[in-house]
Structures are given as C-alpha cells and as structure tokens.
Structure 1
C-alpha cells in the first residue's frame, strides 16, 4: 500500500479543532483506500482529542497535525510548543475535561507523548483490520449413497 499523508498547521485556537478534524477526515476519505468506517471514525475522535489538548495546553503559537496511512496503521501526530508532557488519568466524575488521553488510550492501539526541541509531539496509531486478500470458494462433488 502506498503511503498517504496529510500535514496541517493552524493557530492554537478553539476553532482550530473543528477545522483540523474536518480537513483530516475529508483527506482520509479522499485517499481512495478501502478503510473501515470504524477506522475513520476512530481517527476522527483521536485527532479531535489530541488537537484539543494541544490547543488547550500549548498557549499561543501553532499546532501541527500529521496523518499518515502506512502499510498496517493509520498514524496521527500532533505537535505543539508546550514542553509539558500530558499525563493520562481518570478525571473526577464531575470534571468537565481531562478525559482526552484516556479516550486516546482506549481507542488507539499505541500512543505516546514525547518531548521535542520545540515542545512536544503526541501520537497515536490505529491498526488497520486485516482483510483476506481474496475469497476462496471450495466446491466438492456430492456423494450419493
């Protein structure tokens, strides 16, 4: 499978989340690759959560998104200028936020947050379902007794 990629950079504003999510889903669907609706929906949620966290905690500056379709995974990577690495945890039941990385951990097959020279990178990988290459039909002659 050929690699497909989308890269976006937007100001760290609340309106950026919906814009980035929409652009990413549109690009993924435009790659003309047979992806499950579940994979696309999972990617949409992961993108939304990672970009929301970046916007909320990065302060001013840019937030960058990169989505790559590789052989067996869809990789989502978000970069921002804050050096503070997020820590997943369970929020209080009355909290209005704090569930983003918990959701990413539940939805993605792998995820991490890593420092970079200019801030941090948070990424998640969604494994693509394995589909049989071809359908095989076996027909056997009926035996009469």
Structure 2
C-alpha cells in the first residue's frame, strides 16, 4: 500500500478548529479507496475530538494536525504548546463537554500523548486491515 501523509497548522479559534477537522477528514477521505467506510467515520470523529481539545485547552500557541496512513496503521496526531497532560474521564451527566478523550480511548486501537520540549503530541492509532479495493472488477456470474 502506498503511504499517505498530511500535516498543517491550525489557529486557536473555534472556526479554525472546524476548518481543520474538515480539512483532515477530507484528506483521509481522499485516501478512502484504501479504508473501510466504518474506519473512515471513526477516524474523522477521533480527529475532530483531538483538534477540538487542542484548540479548547491550548489555543494560544501553535497547533498542528496531521494523519499518516501506512500498510498497518492510520495515525492521527495533533501537537500543541500546552504542557498540560490530557485526562481521560467521564464528566457528570449534566455537563455538556468533557467526553472527547473518553471517545478517543473507546474508539482508537491505541492512543496517548508524548511530551515534547514545547508542549505535547496527542495521537490515536487505528489498525488497518486489508484495504478495500474499489477498482478491482467483480467476477462474472454464470447462469
């Protein structure tokens, strides 16, 4: 399978977060012939959560979002300049937010964060099964 990669900066506003989510989802969808539809939808949701968290909690410094697809995995990563460690947990039933990392933990095959000299990298990884081959002709049926 051909490797794919995309990375771009994200400014720290809600509008920029929405635009970045759409841009990253569009890049991943452009590789869609290689991925199962369910994996695409899950990866898009996880990307949206990681980007939103970075903008919400570390929006003052540089943020970047990216994805890499190789033979065995799809990796989604978001870097920011905040040293704050992300916490997975469930908020109270009355709270409107705070479920993002819980969703990431539930949906990704692996996830985590890596401290960096100026912030951190939050990531989620999905195992990629045999790619969907949309260009392969269907066998002829004989009557």
Query: What residue number does 1:119 align with?
Result: 119
1:12–1:63: 8 Å Cα contact kept in structure 2?
A: yes
Query: What residue number does 1:71 align with?
Result: 71
Name the CA shift for 1:89/1:32 in 2 (closer, same or farther; >3 Å): closer
- What is the Cα deviation at residue 132 of structure 1? 9.5
Is 76-85 or 57-66 further displaced after alignment? 57-66
TM-score, structure 1 length as denominator?
Answer: 0.85
Larger Rg over CA atoms: 1
Is 120-129 or 21-30 further displaced after alignment? 21-30
1:60-139 alignment to 2 at 5 Å? 60-130=60-130
Q: 4+ residue stretches of structure 1 with deviation over 3 A?
A: 130-133
TM-score, structure 2 length as denominator?
Answer: 0.86
For this pair of structures, how many residues does the alignment match?
Answer: 134
- What is the Cα deviation at residue 131 of structure 1? 6.2
RMSD: 1.9
Give the Cα separation in 1 of the matches to 2:33 and 2:131: 13
2:61–2:82: 8 Å Cα contact kept in structure 1?
A: no
Which runs of 5 or more structure 2 residues have no equivalent in the other structure? 134-143
1:111–1:123: 8 Å Cα contact kept in structure 2?
A: yes
1:6-17 alignment to 2 at 5 Å? 6-17=6-17
Query: What residue number does 2:140 align with?
Result: none
Q: Matched residue of 2:15: which SS?
A: helix
Which runs of 5 or more structure 1 residues have no equivalent in the other structure? 134-145
